[in-house]
Structure 1
Amino acid sequence: MHVNLIRYGLLWMAASIGMMLLGLVLTQFGVGMPAGLATVLPPMFAAVLEGMRIAQTIRAPLDGKSAWVNAAAMTGVVALLTIVQLPLYWNNPVIAEARATIPALYLAGLFVLLLAVILMVNRLFLAHGIKLGLKRLEE
């Protein structure tokens, strides 16, 4: 395992909090933020930075299987942190309304679909971060 999962999780949390704060600021100006952006940007940010760290350590790109294993572990961290955060949002009026109107099985399916998207984002941007890190080392 090349990815530092604790650092990845902290980077993901920082980016998630940053997205939440940015959303709050934008709503004060009457501007909305695309909902998918809050799902995709935190893992994108964390995967690129972690990929750059990997490039400094191993100084070579990861092979396909190793990259997928690392991306899956990173996605597991996102799933775990999301489940841990769930009690914080459980009584939020928007979440409470969604729980009342949308079947639980549908919400679980949506969660799995979002994890699949996050897996793809992690895989793509981990490789991108490694490439950026290797370019930086060449310079």
Structure 2
Amino acid sequence: MQVNLIRYALWWMGASVAMLLAGLLLAQFGLGMPAGLATVLPPMVASVAEGMRIAQVTRAPLPGRDAWTCAAAMTGVVAVLTVIQLPFYWNSPMVIEARQTIPFVYLAGIFLLLLSVILMVNRLFLGHGIKLGLKRLEE
């Protein structure tokens, strides 16, 4: 596997923190962010950055099976990091309300659905990052 999961995790966490800070800043002006953006943007940024790094090393696009394997591993990193962060959010008012009103089975289903969306985002933008990296190498 050509993907560096630690570097991906750092990019993902950095983008997540940037989203959190941007949301707090926008809230000061009475504005909000789209709800799905916090789910999609961090893996998007991390996948493009990792794809560009892979292009520098391999100097060729990844075969489809390898790209899916890398995307699945990156999605696993997101799942682990989300579970690690869960205790920090567990007692926040929004999560308490969700826990009280939504059955746990549905919450688990939503988590799996979001992971499948993140898998697709990782795969799509990993390929996009590789293409950008290869184009940069041509210049």
If the length of structure 1 is used for normalisation, what is the TM-score? 0.99
SS of the residue aligned with 1:6? helix
* Aligned residue number for residue 53 of structure 2: 53
Deviation (angstroms), 1:127: 0.2
Gap regions ≥5 residues in structure 2: none
Deviation (angstroms), 1:102: 0.5
1:112-136 CA-partner distances (Å, limit 9, x unpaired): 0000000000000000000000000
Distance 1:23 1:99 in 2: 23
Distance 1:2 1:100 in 2: 42
* Aligned residue number for residue 130 of structure 1: 130
Deviation (angstroms), 1:15: 0.3
Distance 1:127 1:93 in 2: 38
* Aligned residue number for residue 65 of structure 2: 65
* Aligned residue number for residue 18 of structure 1: 18
Within-5 A mapping of 1:29-108: 29-108=29-108
Deviation (angstroms), 1:12: 0.1
Distance 2:2 2:92 in 1: 37
- Amino acid paired to 1:44: M
Deviation (angstroms), 1:17: 0.6
CA RMSD after TM alignment = 0.3
| Sequence identity percentage | 74
Gap regions ≥5 residues in structure 1: none
Distance 1:89 1:14 in 2: 18
Distance 1:9 1:68 in 2: 17
SS of the residue aligned with 2:36? helix
1:11-42 CA-partner distances (Å, limit 9, x unpaired): 00000010011001101100010010000000
* Aligned residue number for residue 27 of structure 1: 27
Deviation (angstroms), 1:94: 0.7
